Amino acid sequence: MTKRTASDPCEQPLAVSQTGAARLLGVGIGTVRALVAGGRLPIVRVGRRVLIPVAGLTALLDERQTISPSATDSRPELGDASDAAPPSSPIPTAPERELERDGSA
């Protein structure tokens, strides 16, 4: 009898459940369900079971790895407020309301 090793292809599952996919990705089941619903993760139905091919998980990770975080991050740098415009509010502040009532404005 031959002993199987962890690198043996027969030991690696071809597909996992949604819970298994969440565990492998390190995310919650809700995230996996959202990825499936959004078409980002493929599914295979076997009877009543919904399975996710491991190749689909790998493809998702490869896709995410090729995107540079700086290319997708549209937020301004924190701590550099020198060129930021002051917030404008359509609601007058308390001193502005006092001036409006007095007619001084």
The predicted pLDDT at position 63 comes to 87
Domain ranges of the chain: 12-66
pLDDT at 64: 82
Q: Which of 25, 34, 30 is nearest to 61 (CA)?
A: 25
pLDDT number for residue 16 = 97
Q: Which CATH class is domain 12-66?
A: mainly alpha
pLDDT of residue 74: 56
pTM of the complete model: 0.54
Per-residue pLDDT of the chain in tens (105 residues, 90 and over written 9): 555 555 666 788 999 999 999 999 999 999 999 999 999 999 999 999 999 999 999 999 998 886 665 655 555 555 445 555 555 555 555 666 566 666 655
pLDDT at 11: 82
pLDDT score at 29: 96
**Which residue type is seen at 41?**
L
